[in-house]
Amino acid sequence: MPTLCKPSVSVPENVITMEDTLKFAETAHAGKPQLPLVLRLIRNTGVQKRHIVQPIEKTLRHPGFEERNRIFEAEAKKRCPPVIGEALANAGLTTKDIDAIIFVSCTGFMMPSMTAWLINNLGFRTNTRQIPIAQLGCAAGGAAINRAHDFCTAYPDNNVLIVSCELCSLCYQPDDDGVGSLLSDGLFGDAVAAAVVRGSGGTGVSLERNASYIIPNTENWISYAVRATGFHFQLDRRVPGTMEPLAPVLRELAVNHGWNIASLDFYIIHAGGPRILADLSKFLGVDEDMFRHSWATLTEYGNIASAVVFDALRRLFEEDTMTPGATGVIAGFGPGITAEMAMGRWSTDAPTAGMDRVAHAVLASAEEAQ
């Protein structure tokens, strides 16, 4: 059974607090009629701080789409290798053991994909499959887990590396006064995450079933307007209410697996915002504390898009309360409106000694490539 091992997550060194965000919004958009609403919405996010790749002074300036995409590529190449090295060590594997790489991001564009750079510079085999996912937004973390599960089911004993690189601050649009854009400026943060799905062995979530679902006729509720200045985030006011139609889908998925969605042992849920988490716990009949890892990610890092599920899962690992056989669900939500869901059971495997050298080897390869 494929097993999702402990993720590695890294956030940039530049920190912006909620107080900073409110101050910058008041200054940059003073006198705009929608500003009081946006300030209230930002306060209600519960996001106490976020991490961004550039100092806030640079983030508040727009150097053009071309320069921003250059920064994305440079930062991705700098920040992904150490996270990958740690994820491989967590799984007890080396780059040579990886059969496919899934790279997800909705905040920058590269062609060839970042997967090609990783293979050429970090010591992966040249026959490693490349699976870039670019347009599922926040749902891509869940989708990557599900596609890795599918791959390992089709090719038993193969291993898949997932890499999520979300530099949301590079999509900030200082001249966009839309409510969705302004709210996103106070909600989204930057992060890089990686995790390995092992075809056999490993400690973590043994993936047993997955499913996808799209709420009909909601494809424009979360979207990018692609303009000369880059990606402009657009958010329909109906998005926070989408957990009511999605809760029955999650419930049915659990029932089909012989489980009760309200009585699982762990819940790794995309922290799209406070109402998403509050509503889903209500409609599923689950105590909000069961979503504590998702709440912690939202509070400390903001919405880090596809990386959310990996950070919440990392926190579950570090809490160290799971026992073999514990049941749980992983769910990511994003544009579409799309849900990517997985059911799994906690499993343990004997640790592999000496795997700290894996992380060092990957880092050394990356430093040579810079």
Catalytic site positions: 138
Instruction: Take residue 62 and report the two structure tokens written for it.
Output: 């727009």
Instruction: Take residue 82 and report the two structure tokens written for it.
Output: 């150490």
3-class state of residue 173 by DSSP: coil
In terms of Cα–Cα distance, which of 88, 174, 141, 140 is closest to 358? 88
- One-letter amino acid of 252: E
Distances (CA, A) of 262 to 252, 284, 308: 12, 6, 22
In terms of Cα–Cα distance, which of 157, 161, 137 is closest to 148? 161
Decide: residue 172, CB within 10 A, 0-12 exposed, 13-18 middle, 19+ buried: buried
In this structure, are residues 221 and 239 in contact, taking their beta carbons and an 8 Å threshold? Answer: yes
Instruction: Take residue 220 and report the two structure tokens written for it.
Output: 């424009």
Residue 306 to residue 312: CA distance in whole angstroms: 11
Q: Which helix (H) or strand (E) holds 318?
A: helix 308-319
What separation, in Å, do the N-terminal and C-terminal C-alpha atoms of the chain show?
37
DSSP secondary structure letters along 30-80: TT-TTHHHHHHHHHHT---EEEESS-HHHHTS---HHHHHHHHHHHHHHHH
Backbone dihedral angles phi then psi of residue 265, each to the nearest 5 degrees: -95, -25
User: Is the CA virtual torsion 84, 366, 140, 177 positive or negative?
Assistant: positive
User: Is the CA virtual torsion 328, 218, 295, 109 positive or negative?
Assistant: positive
Distances (CA, A) of 144 to 141, 162, 236, 273: 5, 7, 25, 21
